[in-house]
Amino acid sequence: MDNAQHDRGVKIRMQLDQLVDTLNGMDVSMSLVWVWVWDLIRDKYNTYKELSEYNDYIVSEDITLDIIWDKLWSSPPNQFTLEYGAEYVDEAITDWLIDNNFIVVLDEDSWLNDEEDSAMSPA
Distance between CA 120 and CA 101 in Å, rounded?
9
For residue 123, pLDDT beyond 50? no
Segment 25-30 mean pLDDT: 94
21 is a domain residue: no
4 is a domain residue: no
55-89 residue pLDDT tens: 999 999 999 999 999 999 999 999 999 999 999 99
pTM of the full predicted structure? 0.81
89 is a domain residue: yes
80 is a domain residue: yes
Segment 5-23 mean pLDDT: 96
Q: How many folded domains does the chain comprise? A: 1
Position 92 scores a pLDDT of 97
Beta bridge partners of 58: 104
Nearest C-alpha neighbor of 98 from the set 81, 73, 115:
115
**Which helix (H) or strand (E) element contains residue 20?**
helix 3-24
Q: Which domain holds residue 41?
A: 28-120
